[in-house]
Structure 1
Amino acid sequence: MWTHAPWQKRFLPHPLPPQERLKAYATWCNAVEGNTTFYAVPARDTVETWARQTGPDFRFVLKMPKAITHDRRLGDVGAEVRSFLQAIEPLGPRAHALWIQLPAAFVPADVEVLAGFLRRLPPSYRYAVEVRHRAFFEDERSARLLERALANVGAEWIPFDTTTLFRTPPTSDMERDAWTRKPRVARRTTALTDRPIVRYLGRDSVDETVAGWRGWVGQVAEWLREGRSPTVFIHTPDNAEALPLARRFHNDVRARVPELEPLPDPTRAPAEPPTLF
């Protein structure tokens, strides 16, 4: 996401060499979703540049490759898991959680497969699971079944809150596209661990997006008071305003929990990339 085209020149200096782009993003936010790892395992030297561009407290929530979660459905994936973990090793503590996003075809009957997969993973990493089948959100027995499997290994359940997007019909091409691709499930606000992770999807309208996250502001503030360390990712259908919106959400939470550390100050970053002249 740190190379998202609508952010260039508006929020981030442009052009920048690849080894500087994440560093610029990290002046705005202190966490990032690693979505590219879903499509291909990154080269280790690429991951080393990610580590060099970020401080030790920066959080990567890295999606496991689809070869593991979607193609092989968590079965006989030992070699693929080892390859992925070797590649991301340079991140060290920056690997806040490894994100296991499961397809909508993953149903409650498959939970035991997930449980076995989680038990085989090394305990040196934290794991977080995202499910999309509606039964996990509408059937209490299915939800409890998944919660038990996750709790047994200290894994978190990542809610993807799309309720604001689906509240009213879409009004733009990007919203219509999101309607066809994003899961329509109930909002879930239960944390299983001390590191809850939330993915929130709003609308093109800033006002609607902000109105839709008000409940999350209170929930995240409560988690902080309980001593938890939540991570929240703010999205809109086109993500054009996601950076300032993420900072606005953080400020809303900080208004309730003043001891929360402020985000980095992007105004201190150079407006243009350095040159020789």
Structure 2
Amino acid sequence: MSGTVRIGISGWTYAPWRKVFYPEGLRQKDELEYAASRMTSIEINGSFYSLQRPESYRAWRERTPEGFVFAVKGGRFITHMKKLADVDVPLANFFASGPLALGDKLGPVLWQLPPTLGFDAERLEHFFDQLPRTTNAAAELASRHDERVAGRAHLEVTSEQEIRHAVEVRHDSFLVPEFLTLLRDNAIALVVADTAGRWPLIRDVTTDFAYVRLHGDSELYASGYSDEALDEWAALLRGWAEEGKDVYAYFDNDIKVRAPFDAMALIERLADLGPAG
């Protein structure tokens, strides 16, 4: 049985996209709805920069179609400032800040590591042990939040579901078999990140789903993908899906407004493997 392929963009609020991807006159509050009607998933990246609010997550859930799924990017306070160490409370705050309000639209959680953080098996394993693997576990963790989200925490779970996690690395020390073994042992996905050659591109799938981030074919965050490049990525994603893996892929080449158009072109190539309906 084939897995499902979901394709979209990383973020959706970009001024240069207006009058190019977004039609002239479209209200900013309607941009998510417009993008979601053309994508099969979107990666929330505002959660990387700061703790969002439950009302924002609820609004995002309500303004997207039934069956739509969001990936949520974990906070940089956890990954870049704390570097995954001593993050019990920061993790509680993150999950209390609203991701559970997405309900059944909550997809995988992305943890992007900084270029300054090298491979440390013990640090990674301890972090993986702390990650909640179900929404009920996330709610229990979230209940231990501190004053940063006091009075605005969302701890309610409408139905228990799995929470998947993916890790994106940006240091050459991760190019060792031990890292892939650690991911497989902990059921964590490796992000297959195309960064125009700047950071490691590792194509291994380490759990029951694949997570792809396309940051630019030849110029980081800027260049688009040619038809040939999109054909190659489509073939790779199709192969994983036909092996039974679910696939999530997000374009992050937003500077020159390539991301949404590349996403739609890739969706067209894999339309038969998209979510039902």
Give 2:179's aligned residue. 146
Instruction: Kindly state the Cα deviation for residue 223 of structure 1 after the two structures are TM-superposed.
Output: 1.3
Per-residue CA distance 1:216-274 (angstroms, 9 max, x = gap): 221111112112221112243624132121111122234xxxx324899xxxxxxxxxx
Query: Quick one: distance in 2 between partners of 1:91 and 1:205?
Result: 32
- 1:132 aligned to 2:170? yes
Q: 2:193 aligns with which of 160, 170, 184?
A: 160
TM-score by length of 2: 0.76
**Distance change >3 Å, CA 248–CA 262, structure 1 → 2:** farther
Number of aligned positions between the proteins: 233
- 1:21 aligned to 2:31? yes
Maintained 8 Å contact 2:192/2:211: yes
**Paired letter, 1:37:** S
Instruction: Kindly state the Cα deviation for residue 132 of structure 1 after the two structures are TM-superposed.
Output: 0.6
Instruction: Kindly state the Cα deviation for residue 95 of structure 1 after the two structures are TM-superposed.
Output: 1.9
**Paired letter, 1:133:** H
Matches within 5 A, 1:2-17: 2-13=12-23, 14-17=25-28
Q: CA RMSD in A?
A: 2.2
Q: 1:85 aligns with which of 95, 98, 102?
A: 95
Where in structure 1 are there 5+ consecutive unaligned residues?
Answer: 167-182, 265-277
Maintained 8 Å contact 1:29/1:263: no
Instruction: Kindly state the Cα deviation for residue 44 of structure 1 after the two structures are TM-superposed.
Output: 1.0
Give 1:184's aligned residue. 199
Q: 1:121 aligns with which of 131, 134, 139?
A: 131
Query: Quick one: distance in 2 between partners of 1:55 and 1:136?
Result: 38
Taking only the aligned residue pairs, the percentage that are identical comes to 26
Give 1:32's aligned residue. 42
SS in 1 for 2:270: helix
Instruction: Kindly state the Cα deviation for residue 17 of structure 1 after the two structures are TM-superposed.
Output: 4.8
**Paired letter, 2:185:** N
**Distance change >3 Å, CA 210–CA 26, structure 1 → 2:** same
Give 1:174's aligned residue. none
Maintained 8 Å contact 1:101/1:129: yes
**Distance change >3 Å, CA 36–CA 8, structure 1 → 2:** same
Give 2:73's aligned residue. 63
**Paired letter, 2:205:** A
Maintained 8 Å contact 1:69/1:101: yes
Per-residue CA distance 1:91-122 (angstroms, 9 max, x = gap): 123221111111112212x2211111111121
Q: 1:225 aligns with which of 237, 242, 246?
A: 242
**Distance change >3 Å, CA 46–CA 262, structure 1 → 2:** closer
Query: Quick one: distance in 2 between partners of 1:30 and 1:67?
Result: 29
TM-score by length of 1: 0.76
**Distance change >3 Å, CA 54–CA 90, structure 1 → 2:** same
**Distance change >3 Å, CA 184–CA 76, structure 1 → 2:** closer
Where in structure 2 are there 5+ consecutive unaligned residues?
Answer: 1-10, 135-162
**Distance change >3 Å, CA 205–CA 107, structure 1 → 2:** closer
Give 2:84's aligned residue. 74
Give 1:268's aligned residue. none
Maintained 8 Å contact 1:100/1:127: yes
Per-residue CA distance 1:116-168 (angstroms, 9 max, x = gap): 1111121112110001101323xxxx2x2222222222110002112xx35xx
Maintained 8 Å contact 1:37/1:64: yes
**Paired letter, 1:93:** D
Instruction: Kindly state the Cα deviation for residue 78 of structure 1 after the two structures are TM-superposed.
Output: 1.4
Which fold has the larger relative contact order, with Cα–Cα distance below 8 Å and residues 6 or more apart in sequence?
2
